[in-house]
Amino acid sequence: MLSNLQQQPADALLALIKLHNADPRADKIDLGVGVYRTGQGDTPVFAAIKAAERKLVEEQDSKAYLGPEGDMAFVEALMPYVFGKDTADMGGRIEGMQTPGGTGSLRVALAMAKRAGIERIIVGVPSWPNHAQICADLGLAVVEFNHATTGGRTDMEALGTALGRAGERDAILLHGCCHNPTGIDYSHAEWDEIAHLVAEAKVLPILDLAYQGLGNGMEEDAYGVRRVLVAVPEALVSYSCDKNFGLYRDRVGALYVMAAVPEDLPRMMSNGHMLARANWSQPPDHGAAAVREVLADEALTAQWLDELDQMRERMRQVRAKLAAAGTAGAVDLTPLGGQNGLFSIVPLSKDQVLEMREKHGIYMAGSGRINVAGLTMGNIDKFIAAVADVTG
């Protein structure tokens, strides 16, 4: 029977890693993989996380199962950062559970939405490829609208049109901040409008907050999520700690459910717990426990936030340098200076992306998406010159 399985295409980014690793050129540049890198090209463990891990080694007295809901102290410790200190409990209408990364959270969120009767997910494109893959695996239809205009601005008209055509069995999936892959985020005024449109359309919002703190700051990056939640009766919020705590391989995430009334939460969460049990049974403990330790200790919290500020500042410096270069060949790099997070799209054709790789040793996704943290003050001039070369 297993011989009936059909060959599946290889993941393009994973294939890019292998190509980069096999390239013998000393000055090669990896702009594909979505992890933060320092100015020296490293992806370090946060010092605050290291300190928390030392505490765990000394104090943790059991590795027993936590249950499908995971470490609830971790889940609750994150809530003030996601929902705000004054509205952390939203009148008892929000409850959460731990998940393996943001992907695990999205998987459960979308599966819960389907169980609730949702049939279609409205998604701005381009989007993170796994959004569509998870929807397809669950049998959810994807309705696309353009996230941004050709001029590099959010396309609010397209979003409004999509919501205007929405039906009662539709949900909308929105990036909370640091849009992947474009880096083009909604302004506060646009989030105000989005909250109104979502409430008016009576669709279920699914909010993907995977990069909080990497855009404009922890509070600023939560504005959109909080604004939408105030406007609607129900919502799902998918959260990832992989980027803003540097816990990529530990897979640390959470799913939050907001109900119209607190009495509905136990029934809703029972579905989340059952889906988790059927998928991974229990989430991994270590990374979430380390985050819990960081957030429980004022000194470690301050250290973590300082490290996050340094990450954000370095990416801002890279974006400023790209923007200052202006036009490289036929490409205007100026808009990258006003974008947020790890990613941006450089408007290159697939042939030009291939030429960047083969001629210059610069590895990036076929869509032109780059991880700006892969650029340093030592290699950014080479990147700008390469873009000019392949497009000039």
Supply φ then ψ for residue 175, to 5 degrees.
Answer: -75, 125
User: How far is residue 222's CA from residue 164's CA, in Å, rounded to a whole number?
Assistant: 25
Annotated active-site positions, please?
Answer: 128, 208, 243
Nearest C-alpha neighbor of 104 from the set 210, 204, 19, 31 = 210
User: How far is residue 143's CA from residue 126's CA, in Å, rounded to a whole number?
Assistant: 12
For 4-15, give the DSSP string: GPPP-PPPHHHH
User: How far is residue 77's CA from residue 54's CA, in Å, rounded to a whole number?
Assistant: 19
How does DSSP classify residue 329? T
Three-state secondary structure call for residue 121: strand
Do 256 and 302 meet the contact criterion of CB atoms below 8 Å apart?
no
For 188-247, give the DSSP string: HHHHHHHHHHHHHHTPEEEEEE--TTSSS-HHHHTHHHHHHHHH-S-EEEEEE-TTTTT-
94 forms beta bridges with 258
User: How far is residue 111's CA from residue 140's CA, in Å, rounded to a whole number?
Assistant: 9
Beta-carbon-side half-sphere exposure of residue 273 (alpha carbons within 13 Å): 15
Three-state secondary structure call for residue 144: strand
Angle between helices 380-391 and 298-325 (to 10 degrees): 40
User: How far is residue 265's CA from residue 142's CA, in Å, rounded to a whole number?
Assistant: 27
User: How far is residue 310's CA from residue 304's CA, in Å, rounded to a whole number?
Assistant: 10
Do 361 and 25 meet the contact criterion of CB atoms below 8 Å apart?
yes
Nearest C-alpha neighbor of 206 from the set 236, 179, 228 = 236
